Structure 1
């Protein structure tokens, strides 16, 4: 993909991301409300507290459902990240995991040389 089309797609994705910024923030706040509700629901002992924190989590879930357009904004941000990485030809890859078994295999191969 040449730089002209990357810039056109980047501009479109940026407009979409900015226009959905409010719903992205709303979705993030809804996630925080759900997290708080579930966290305190699991820690509460009395039935009344469990009902209250379950209600808080349910309100957060309903709020998250109403912010579904934020998914389009998050996808647009992903497209912007992809274009940013590919602008100068950088490879787009997942971060390397620090797996002890993989590191052991690499070190064992070095020792056996």
Structure 2
């Protein structure tokens, strides 16, 4: 049942991630452009250059705010990462290891039998 829940959560997260890939790319591009405009605004010496870079910054900031739903895609990518990590640890994490503290009950039975 746990595998089914992980499969369902992973499938939903994958669909949300695929639906938001374009918006995530647009958000990344606008953030890079906004960083570039901010750098140029700070380097500008004249008032007219600062005004032009400020206007460009406002336009690009509005485009960035329009892509805020891409954050849902980022959350879906993180959930998908957690699902894959949990899925892999279920299959491979139950192997016997040499650490006596990984299976306390088994070690306690062995200790009680030796007395």
Range class of TM-score, shorter chain = 0.7 to 0.9
Structure 1: tracts of 5 or more residues without a match? 91-113
1:13-52 matched pairs, under 5 angstroms: 13-52=13-52
Tell me the equivalent position of 1:12: 12
For the residues of structure 2 that align with 1:33 and 1:56, how far apart are their CA atoms? 10
TM-score by length of 2: 0.72
**TM-score, length basis structure 1:** 0.73
Q: How does 1:16-95 map onto structure 2 within 5 Å?
A: 16-89=16-89
Structure 1 or 2, whichever has the larger Rg, is 2
- Do the aligned residues in 2 keep the contact of 1:14 with 1:80 (CA within 8 Å)? yes
CA-atom RMSD in angstroms: 1.6
Higher relative contact order (CA 8 A, sep 6+): 2
Distance in structure 2 (CA, Å) of the matches to 1:3 and 1:17: 20
User: Structure 1 CA distance, aligned partners of 2:66 and 2:72?
Assistant: 13
Flag as ranges the 4+ runs of structure 1 deviating above 6 A.
none
SS in structure 2 at match of 1:88: helix
